[in-house]
Each structure stands twice: as structure tokens, then as C-alpha cells.
Structure 1
Amino acid sequence: MNNVSKVFSNGTLALKGMSLDVRGGEFISLLGPSGCGKSTALRIIAGLGAASSGSIDWPSSKINSHGLPEGDVGFVFQEPTLMPWETVFGNVHLPLKLRGVRKAEARDKVMENLTSVGLADFADAYPRELSGGMKMRVSIARALVTRPKLLLMDEPFAALDEITRQKLNDDVLTLWQQTGITVIFVTHSVYESAYLSSRIVVMRARPGQVFTDLEIAQPAVRDGAYRVSEFYRANCQKVSDALQSAIQSAES
């Protein structure tokens, strides 16, 4: 993102001169107060909205008509956004279907992704038969089925209970480590960002822009023991202090 600003039709200035460099293989969290433009920034990166000024530059020569690298971006929304009339298999198959890949041809790839999120046994189930956490896993499998290089996640676990949220945090970390994918993850949670991220971008209140950029040292294994460790507590404190400074800077 190079000096990106966004003004909505009602005159609201959502982003002002936001710049962000992303390195391959990073897990970046965008953290900031509600309404600071985190989701707006993510949607502009995804091509789901246009910047009013500034640019998004991709290290790819294969740019499609939407200004995105061909096949290299997956998106997980705040809600699972599943098609209720389709099975779990059908929902995950959708991105491949839109590319003209028939169900029989896609079967192995779809089942591989369902296996990776622990839902291989639910391929024939319908969304109404799933829990909230299972629906979100389907959404993640659907975003990954095209093997994107960049996965964008817009507060995907905010509406889930704490136990389910922690389990899905662990699942996403495992997928990130196994695939080497680059992740940009929007969250309101200091604790979630400190647990997941290799880097946390703290944003100011609207109009959104980068306040500070924190590298987060993480152990090789992040698990239940890490969640109660002094190292994790110190990381949370560092991130919390940065967020409070960002809020106070906007107020002044």
C-alpha cells in the first residue's frame, strides 16, 4: 500500500495516506480501535473497494482486470457467507467452479482442504447442520482451495466463543506454518494479535493510518503453555501499550 487514502461517498475519510509493505510468509495483524479503517484497508487490498488515491503494488506480472494478481488472493469474511443450498463440498468447490473446474476434477483438492480444517467427514453436510466454528472452517477451506499466496482475514473469529476462537487460532497457525502462505489478519483483540502474529500493525483512529509497526518474536510452538507464559504476557503488554498510545494520539 503506497499512500492510500479512502473517502466514501458520504464524505467520510476512512484512510489517510496509509502505507504498508508486506513480506512473503509473514503473519501480519492489523490492530486498532473500532472504525479505524482496518477492514476498509483489507477490502482495498482484496480489490473489493477502490482507493480514492494512492496505489496497491503487487510483485506479479499476471494482474487481472480487477488489479489483483491472478489467483493469488483468498479472503475470509467476518461471517462465513456460505451458500445454504450447497453442501460443505459445494461451498469449498465454488472458487474452482468459477474457474471452470468440474466437481470430479476438483474432488481431490476440495477434500484435501476439508481434511486440513478437520471437516473431511462433513463434506455432504449443509451449513444449517454445522456449528459456528465449523462454518468458519468451511470458509477458510474455501479461501485456500485455489492455493493463494496471500490470505486476507477480516475478524473471522470475533463472533465465536473463546474456546472455539482459541482452537481456530491454533488451526490457522498450523495452516500458515504448513503452507508458507502470507496472512493479513484484522482483529480488535490485543491477545489474539499477540498470539498469532509475526508482526502487528497498530492503526490510529479514523482516518486510519499506521501508528506503529511491531515485530513480534514468537516461540516455535504456540500452545496452551505459551498462552500462560511470561513471554506471551510481555508481548500482550507491549501491544496493549502501543494501542493505547495510538488512541491517545488521535484524541490529542
Structure 2
Amino acid sequence: MSLDTSSNRPAAGTASGVGDGTPLVSIRHVSKRFGNGTLAVRDVHLDLASGEFVSLLGPSGCGKSTLLRMIAGLAAPSEGSIDWPAEAGGKPGEGRGLGFVFQDPTLMPWADTLSNVMLPLKLRHVPLDEARDRAAEMLALVGLKGFEKSYPRELSGGMKMRVSIARALVLRPKILLMDEPFAALDEITRHRLNDDLLGLWWKERFTAVFVTHSVFESVYLSQRIVVMAARPGRVMADLDVSAPYPRDELFRTSGDYARLCRLASGKLKEAIGS
């Protein structure tokens, strides 16, 4: 379903004209039942295309985070499959350049900012000088140049999340998975990080999958919004947000944005009531 029919936005899967339409990830009739018998996710069927920005929108308990963890290979489906057609034969996390940003920054408190961002490179045995340069470059990209020697206790919540994003992006992943990374932040900081995230996505051309409870955030960020219902988690709508990029404060205060938010909110209400 389309929330808008503007032709100004790049086609889904080809952000800024990048990508050939081949799905990066194919989720085929995936269900997840936990050991206690709880069916968390039921029969999810989705394609995630190269370069697109997708939000998973739904209430608490609808399986958004569980689905994200299965895409990352941190949990296995009970039924169905999660395949990577563009890189046949691999398993989740094997050479695919996958980054994950959790709800909390999960930084090492004893390490400075630069060392936190360097960690994935060290684990890949990247030479120290190269790792240091790449981490410094990524910190500059997320607006933290000059804070390389700061420790997590010296950073604000928004700055800690920037470090977490820099760490996830330092390996130049093809797909960035984000599990409500801005939920605990104040509105001003959240808006600023939304803008910065879109700038990074536009520049780096990764596929973004963003979990959120916020209709407003999902409409502002996304090309597609996958609306999920709870108990068990399942897809109720796959919405095409055809608004042009780049998006900024003028879009956030526009009539088009308000209209798109109303339409998405209506779909979410239907999902909650289903």
C-alpha cells in the first residue's frame, strides 16, 4: 500500500538510484516460538532490498526486536527461512557486513571513544594504524571529532548513541539493524539524530532496518514502513512512504508529513485492534 504516490523518491531498494532490485535479504514465512511455548513471530514474509530504509513499526511485544535478531543471525527461526540471495551460500554474519545498534549504547566504560569504535576492527585483526584512522574517520562522520579520548561517563546520551552508531558502521556494513536506538532520548536530541542518521544513510548507501514505536519517526525516516501486530507478531501492512529526500525540518512541519503520519497511524491502530 502506498501512503503517497510522488515520483520524486527513488524506488524502494534503489536509494538514490543504487541497487539492481535484487533483494539483499529474503524473509520467507518466518515464525519464532520460544522454549516456553510463546509464539513471538508468525509467518513473516518480506524482502529487504539493497540501499532502502525500512522501519518496523508496532506496539511492544509485536516481535520487532525478535525479527531483527533473526535477521542478524542472533536467533534462529522456528519455521521458514532468512536468505541472502545476493550472497548465496553464506550464513547470517559471514562476510555480509552487518551492523547492529542496540537500544542501549553498550559501550565499554573503561575504554575511550576511539577505542570503543575500533573494537570491531580489532576483532577482525585490522592493523592498528588503519583501525585508528578508520575509527577516527567514522567519529568525524557522526559529529564527534574532538571527542576521541573521552570516556562514556563524560558523554551525553545522544553522544553515546553516536559512538554506538559509529562502531556499527566502522566495518562499512551492507545492512544496519537498529533496535529503537533513540527511544530513551529527549525529543530535540532524537530529531537531531534522525537527521544525522538519514545523512549517513544517504552518504553510505547501506540498507537500514529501524525498529520504532513512533509513527512520526517512522514516517520521517523511511521509504517503507512495515506495520506489525502483536500476539503473535505478524505483518499487517507494508507501506510505501513516497516523500522525497533529503528530508529536513521543513518536511517535518509540512502538511504532507502530517497527512502521512495520520495514514500510518490509522494502519497502526488497525494492527493493534486486530
| TM-score bin (small chain) | over 0.9
Matched, 1:30 2:56: yes
Matched, 1:5 2:25: no
Give, as a single letter, the amino acid of the residue that structure 1 aligns with 2:87.
Answer: S
Question: For 1:19, what is the secondary structure of its paired residue?
Answer: strand
**CA distance change for structure 1 residues 62 and 124 in 2, over 3 Å: closer, same or farther?**
farther
User: Take 1:81 and 1:99, find their aligned partners in 2: how far apart are those partners?
Assistant: 19
**CA distance change for structure 1 residues 71 and 87 in 2, over 3 Å: closer, same or farther?**
farther
Q: Which of residues 87, 90, 103 is equivalent to 1:63?
A: 90
* C-alpha contact (below 8 Å) 1:14/1:208 kept by paired residues: yes
> Residue deviations 1:78-105, cap 9 Å, x none?
0000000111011000101001113222
Give, as a single letter, the amino acid of the residue that structure 1 aligns with 2:95.
Answer: E
Superposition map of 1:43-82 within 5 A: 43-58=69-84, 59-61=86-88, 63-64=90-91, 67-82=92-107
User: Take 1:173 and 1:208, find their aligned partners in 2: how far apart are those partners?
Assistant: 27
Identify the residue that residue 243 of structure 2 maps to in structure 1. 218
Structure 1 gaps of 5+ residues are none
User: Take 1:41 and 1:26, find their aligned partners in 2: how far apart are those partners?
Assistant: 18
Q: TM-score, normalised by structure 1?
A: 0.95
Matched, 1:134 2:159: yes
Identify the residue that residue 112 of structure 1 maps to in structure 2. 137
Q: Which of residues 14, 21, 31 is equivalent to 2:47?
A: 21
Question: For 1:104, what is the secondary structure of its paired residue?
Answer: helix
Matched, 1:144 2:169: yes
User: Take 2:261 and 2:251, find their aligned partners in 1: how far apart are those partners?
Assistant: 12
Superposition map of 1:142-221 within 5 A: 142-221=167-246
User: Take 1:62 and 1:9, find their aligned partners in 2: how far apart are those partners?
Assistant: 28
Report how far residue 71 of structure 1 moved: 4.0
Q: TM-score, normalised by structure 2?
A: 0.88
User: Take 1:193 and 1:206, find their aligned partners in 2: how far apart are those partners?
Assistant: 22
Question: For 2:46, what is the secondary structure of its paired residue?
Answer: coil
Superposition map of 1:231-242 within 5 A: 231-242=256-267
Runs of 4+ aligned structure 1 residues displaced above 4 Å come to none
User: Take 1:203 and 1:69, find their aligned partners in 2: how far apart are those partners?
Assistant: 28
User: Take 2:134 and 2:96, find their aligned partners in 1: how far apart are those partners?
Assistant: 15
Report how far residue 218 of structure 1 moved: 1.5
Give, as a single letter, the amino acid of the residue that structure 2 aligns with 1:137.
Answer: R
Question: For 2:43, what is the secondary structure of its paired residue?
Answer: strand
**CA distance change for structure 1 residues 77 and 233 in 2, over 3 Å: closer, same or farther?**
same
Structure 2 gaps of 5+ residues are 1-26
Give, as a single letter, the amino acid of the residue that structure 2 aligns with 1:53.
Answer: E
Root mean square deviation of aligned Cα? 1.1
User: Take 1:8 and 1:101, find their aligned partners in 2: how far apart are those partners?
Assistant: 37
User: Take 2:48 and 2:205, find their aligned partners in 1: how far apart are those partners?
Assistant: 14
